[in-house]
Structure 1
């Protein structure tokens, strides 16, 4: 009997929202990597208020990987190494027309998440996992 590998990697976690005065607030979130979208990672923020909508951000897996060791990103998403009294982390800065947010995430958790994503689609092998026909169909269905 053949076994199939999972097509996604998903990790639930707590990120820390960093306020301008550097106080932090815990925020439930999840990180997701889908083999069908091999270049991207998706971060979903789960609100504590059940009536509020989830907020989702998608950005390049490579941006997240580079941010483990050096500053990465120049636009709406930036990632860089971040030291805290709680240990090594990464900073995730998100910018939109609605505002800016800075989050702190465990570096070891992100590294494990990325390692698991590379077992699905190794770095440099993304084009082999990309289904262009499916991607075009999804884009056309959204409009």
Structure 2
């Protein structure tokens, strides 16, 4: 059972138009308790932070090739794969963000050391972990 998390920060450009974009800080969090997801918390000027959960594999795939469906689409920018574009669709509108790829790759590498890609617990493993957590929780109450 893993108890630590992976956290990081990246600066992304929120693209408003071809002429206008601004830099925002994005907190990245990975918790092995939810091994398939990465949490992105966007700190927007003048607004409360906005949090989105992405599939970790979607983020990894999007660094090298266009991927995604539904609310989240990720694709590399340019031939060098040095930047990544994240497009978010919500009822409030769409957001286009561009980030440097190396910090995202470094963050994903840290998550992979904690829970290797493709080795996330599934099915009965999760049931066993949940039972162990619940048992510990009940012991702590007594």
Q: What interval of TM-score do these two structures reach, taking the shorter chain for normalisation? A: 0.7 to 0.9
Q: Corresponding residue for 1:35?
A: 32
TM value normalised by structure 1: 0.79
Distance 1:19 1:131 in 2: 42
Residue 114 of structure 1: how far off its partner (Å): 0.5
Q: Which has the larger radius of gyration?
A: 2
The superposition leaves residues 81-119 of structure 1 with CA deviations (integer Å, 9 ceiling, x where unpaired) of: 0139xx821000000011000000110011101100000
Structure 2 residue 19 is the aligned partner of structure 1 residue 26: no
Q: Corresponding residue for 1:44?
A: 41
Distance 2:63 2:98 in 1: 12
Pick from 77, 83, 100: which aligns with 1:89?
Answer: 83
Please show how residues 58-137 of structure 1 align to structure 2 within 5 Å.
Answer: 58-83=53-78, 88-127=82-121, 131-132=126-127, 133=130
Residue 7 of structure 1: how far off its partner (Å): 1.7
Residue 12 of structure 1: how far off its partner (Å): 1.4
Given that 1:7 and 1:36 are in contact with CA atoms closer than 8 Å, whether structure 2 keeps it comes out as no
Structure 2 unmatched ranges of 5 or more: 135-142
Given that 1:29 and 1:44 are in contact with CA atoms closer than 8 Å, whether structure 2 keeps it comes out as yes
Give the number of aligned pairs: 128
**More displaced 10-residue stretch of structure 1: 62-71 or 21-30:** 21-30
TM value normalised by structure 2: 0.80
Deviating above 4 A after TM superposition, structure 1's stretches of 4 or more consecutive aligned residues are none
Q: CA RMSD in A?
A: 2.5
